[in-house]
Structure 1
Amino acid sequence: MKNERLNINGICFGEVLWDNLPTGRKLGGAPLNVAYHLNKLGIHTHMLTRVGDDADGEDIIALCAELAIPLTLFQKDSTYPTSTVEVHIDENRDVRYEIVFPVAWDYIALGEKEIEAVRQADFFVFGSLSTRNDISYQTLQTLIKVANYKVLDVNLRAPHYTRERIFELLYYADLVKMNEEELGFVATWLGLPDTDTDAKKAEAIMTTFSINELIVTYGAKGAIYHSWLGKFSYHFPALRVEVKDTIGSGDSFLAAFLTQRCRQDKQVTPEEMLEFATTLSAFVTQSTGACPSYDAPTINRFVWLNSLDNTKY
């Protein structure tokens, strides 16, 4: 990994919040995590969101400024509070979330500034959680229609989704990321047999919704990138690491993948895309929280140490 600035611009839409962890609060929200890593990796990425006009919101704005996340598309709400989430981590390091409703990002407003920003961006990342309330959902529907490259991060958090809204987002998307469990949910909604392989489920989903690219993540088993553009499915294994928590690992995976997928200065192979994505995801998994601090030397050292560890297996 090199420290570099790429001539690519993106926008992430949706929730920004405080994750209240057993060890203290951490900045979070899937699209915010993606924006953080994209900016760390050299892609100028705005976060389009809304916080409350309260102390929690001021703290988020101050921290995002410190983390070099652009603030020009942040909105303030005088009625609804800044979002907080209670995070519970069990003995297996699995995570359960209690997401408060309603909060400020349920009311993201639409204006000419937001429309023009999305129209000019190279890609637009949005998640399914931001569709739980009609106001933000209607804003998202308008913005998707002017976006150039539409990236859906499926993020099913019960009870904050409906099949109908997930299906609509899938119809819009160019690239979709989901995990193994979410693949199963969508396949069931489509009435696919339980006996179908994941490859058949992925193909059916891509066919039904005219999706060109689909990434399915499998945690410790790696990820598979299905592409109709290149007519292939490519599996890449995960790195073996000591897991601290899995918060934000999928978000860092998507950000790292996009930095390679959207490069305009050189051709990048699917193997290179997935290798970089799984590397950053593994680094985040063995760190605390979704947005750990790092730079190019940090990631290079992590790769080197991991290569030494894997020679033991």
Structure 2
Amino acid sequence: MNNSRSQVVCFGEILWDILPGGTVPGGAPMNVAYHLHQLKESPALITRVGNDEKGEELKKILAEKQIDTSLLQTDLTRPTGIVYGTANERGDMKYEIVAPSAWDFIEATAAAIEKVRASAYFVCGSLAARDVTSQLSLFTFLAAAKTSVVDINLRQPFFGEALIGQLLQHAAIAKLNSDELDLLSRWWAIEGDLKDRMSWLQQRFNLDTVIVTRGAEGAAVFHEDSMYEHPGYKVNVVDTVGSGDAFLAGFLHRRLQKDSISNALNFASRLGAFVASRSGAWPAYTLRDIEQLLYL
């Protein structure tokens, strides 16, 4: 599928998550694109799969979901990505991300650059910068984007202080979780409460918006000079795979609809909680399912 009017372009890893409950498609950019599509947006995906059975299956799934695959690349020598995931007693996941994989070698084609330039949001994560080839492509796209959304996904050992700083310098919107904020605070000696630290990041990197997800404690957004907080939705957590990606998709969806920061945060929190209450990153749902989630 080729949708030239994509309002959001997602860049980075596409792979198979091999989880305790089975093998499912995944990768943060792919997850964000899936949820945007569920919310009736028209995302595009810049990524790379191997010339293998796993890659063909991913292509088939994306086609079935009607996600724009016009920028999907095929690598003739490297395999489609695989991640092995295990859960702790709280349902939080630990990942072994196999390298190298096809998505480490994404090329910045002219068609992809033009698609990024024409979109409202360009979404990427720090994991996609672990190899120099995709990293160089990523910075090319960041330079072309109108509004860059950088999701700080700190997966050992694929990150470093200098790289994260460079990515944030190119971002308009930064999203991270509370553990990642704690690490950045240690790196850069950021002090104070949550608001102080989010404000510091906004000013240091000239960001429009800083988003921090806090698990069971909800989420917060610092936008311009204002702080917005949401206590979260109480659900029975099955696993947290993809819940942060769903949150981001929900937030961008509501902002594309010109909704307020407060309402976008509320909707994003609702969607993230719903996904955490289901197995895997791609549960089937409708907007009505999300609206019926009780606020507690």
Q: What TM-score bracket applies, with the shorter chain setting the length?
A: over 0.9
Assess, with a 3 A threshold, how the Cα gap between structure 1 residues 103 and 8 changes in structure 2: closer, same or farther. Answer: closer
One-letter amino acid matched to 1:130: A
Partner of 1:227 in structure 2?
223
1:183 maps to which of 181, 184, 207: 181
Q: Is the 8 A contact 2:251 2:267 kept in 1?
A: yes
Partner of 2:254 in structure 1?
260
Structure 2 spans left out of the alignment, 5+ residues: none
SS in 2 for 1:117: helix
Q: Deviations over 1:160-191 (max 9, x none)?
A: 11111110010010011100011111111112
Partner of 1:130 in structure 2?
128
1:216 maps to which of 212, 217, 222: 212
Q: Distance in 2 between matches of 1:143 and 1:158?
A: 24
The answer on 1:20 being equivalent to 2:18 is yes
| Root-mean-square deviation (Å) | 1.2
Aligned identity (percent) is: 39
Partner of 1:4 in structure 2?
none
Q: Distance in 1 between matches of 2:91 and 2:230?
A: 23
Partner of 1:112 in structure 2?
110
Could you say which structure has the larger radius of gyration? 1
SS in 1 for 2:107: coil
Partner of 1:97 in structure 2?
95
The answer on 1:240 being equivalent to 2:234 is yes
SS in 2 for 1:280: helix
Q: Distance in 2 between matches of 1:8 and 1:160?
A: 30
Q: Is the 8 A contact 1:8 1:262 kept in 2?
A: no
Q: Deviations over 1:97-139 (max 9, x none)?
A: 0000110000001211111111111110000000100000000
SS in 2 for 1:84: strand
SS in 1 for 2:104: helix
Deviation at 1:8, TM superposition (A): 6.1
SS in 2 for 1:62: helix
The answer on 1:199 being equivalent to 2:201 is no
Deviation at 1:262, TM superposition (A): 2.2
Partner of 1:57 in structure 2?
55
Q: How many residues align?
A: 292
Alignment of 1:54-93 (within 5 A): 54-93=52-91
Deviation at 1:295, TM superposition (A): 1.4
Structure 1 spans left out of the alignment, 5+ residues: 1-6
Partner of 1:44 in structure 2?
42
Q: Distance in 1 between matches of 2:48 and 2:6?
A: 24
Q: Is the 8 A contact 2:238 2:278 kept in 1?
A: yes
Q: Is the 8 A contact 2:6 2:44 kept in 1?
A: no
One-letter amino acid matched to 2:85: V
Deviation at 1:31, TM superposition (A): 0.9
